[in-house]
């Protein structure tokens, strides 16, 4: 215990020494470049204290700028649109590709909290089109892949609008994390939108869209997606269930180009 306390104290002293040394150097450089800042009415200890505070503020600002740069969306070369379902005007100037997993709780949070705002401001007004691509995570299978295949089977028999209606029902019904629902619910939800028929059952049981989903995953990985949800907004990668403001900033910048 004494050794641990001594180590902690040593670390604290070293850190303090670094801060003080850095601030004194910073203070000295400031005085050298701006000697008029040295007031005759200030004693040396007060000047050093101000130097310490200025140094700390400078370090905090540099750390904040580094964090902003690290979180800035990165541009990704290549076209990852494929032939998946589109929500919104196909001629919209901004394309948002979403790589998602119906059993991912963060994807569901994006669906419930952020997507409605995106639809209202950008998708329904013809500024953004959303392309939904499947990225079921292995630890959410088999249900996540079954849900993705079921949605593709719905689209096969209907259209993109009905596909997204089924997409909405899946997110609304699931509790997420690979245990969100029983497989039978996939048929029940299909019946709610008028697709509960033999063709749907045959399509789902045949797993005919399993390769299509594997391609979505491969394309997502090529684009830098490592978890869900992941987004490409006109080629700029946004990772995770980010707040609406993050998407708004990128979309507005793209609309001004």
Q: Which residues make beta-bridge pairs with 98? A: 132, 231
What is the rounded average pLDDT of the residues 184-209? 93
The pLDDT of residue 88 is above 70:
yes
In angstroms, rounded to a whole number, what is the distance separating the alpha carbons of residues 102 and 34?
Answer: 60
In angstroms, rounded to a whole number, what is the distance separating the alpha carbons of residues 242 and 104?
Answer: 14
In angstroms, rounded to a whole number, what is the distance separating the alpha carbons of residues 86 and 63?
Answer: 40
In angstroms, rounded to a whole number, what is the distance separating the alpha carbons of residues 257 and 253?
Answer: 7
In angstroms, rounded to a whole number, what is the distance separating the alpha carbons of residues 89 and 119?
Answer: 11
In angstroms, rounded to a whole number, what is the distance separating the alpha carbons of residues 188 and 153?
Answer: 14
| Burial grade of 99 (CB within 10 A; 0-12, 13-18, 19 or more) | buried
| Burial grade of 17 (CB within 10 A; 0-12, 13-18, 19 or more) | exposed
What is the rounded average pLDDT of the residues 115-120? 98
Q: What percent of the chain has pLDDT over 90?
A: 64
Alpha helices, H only, 77-232: 105-109, 115-118, 143-157, 160-173, 184-192, 198-206, 210-222
- The label of the residue with tokens 């990128």 reads 250
In angstroms, rounded to a whole number, what is the distance separating the alpha carbons of residues 235 and 16?
Answer: 45
User: What is the pLDDT at residue 63?
Assistant: 76
Higher per-residue pLDDT: 39 or 132: 132
User: What is the pLDDT at residue 52?
Assistant: 81
Tens-place pLDDT, residues 210-252: 999 999 999 999 999 999 999 999 999 999 999 999 999 999 9
Lowest mean pLDDT among 64-73, 84-93, 106-115: 64-73
Mean pLDDT of the chain: 84
The pLDDT of residue 8 is above 90:
no
SS3 125: coil
In angstroms, rounded to a whole number, what is the distance separating the alpha carbons of residues 146 and 181?
Answer: 11
Please give the structure tokens belonging to residue 116: 């409605």
Tell me if the pTM is above 0.75: no
- The label of the residue with tokens 């594997």 reads 214
The phi and psi torsions of 184 (rounded to 5 degrees) equal -60, -25
């Amino acid at each position: 215990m004494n050794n641990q306390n001594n180590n902690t104290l040593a670390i604290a002293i070293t850190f303090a020494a670094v801060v003080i040394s850095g601030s004194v150097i910073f203070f000295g450089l400031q005085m050298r470049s701006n000697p008029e800042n040295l007031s005759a009415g200030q004693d040396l200890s007060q000047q050093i204290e101000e130097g310490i505070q200025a140094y700390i503020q400078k370090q905090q600002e540099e750390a904040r700028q580094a964090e902003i740069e690290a979180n800035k969306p990165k541009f990704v070369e290549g076209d990852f649109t494929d032939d998946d379902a589109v929500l919104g005007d196909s001629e919209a100037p901004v394309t948002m590709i979403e790589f998602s997993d119906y059993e991912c709780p963060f994807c569901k949070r994006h669906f419930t909290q952020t997507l409605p705002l995106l639809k209202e401001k950008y998708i329904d007004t013809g500024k953004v089109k959303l392309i939904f691509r499947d990225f079921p995570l292995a630890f959410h299978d088999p249900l996540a892949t079954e849900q993705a295949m079921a949605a593709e089977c719905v689209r096969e028999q209907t259209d993109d609008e009905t596909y997204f209606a089924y997409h909405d029902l899946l997110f609304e019904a699931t509790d997420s994390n690979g245990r969100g629902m029983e497989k039978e619910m996939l048929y029940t939800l299909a019946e709610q939108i008028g697709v509960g028929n033999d063709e749907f059952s045959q399509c789902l049981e045949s797993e005919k869209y399993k390769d299509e989903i594997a391609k979505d995953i491969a394309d997502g990985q090529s684009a830098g997606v490592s978890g869900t949800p992941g987004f490409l907004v006109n080629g700029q990668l946004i990772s995770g269930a980010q707040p609406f403001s993050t998407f708004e900033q990128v979309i507005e910048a793209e609309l001004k180009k």
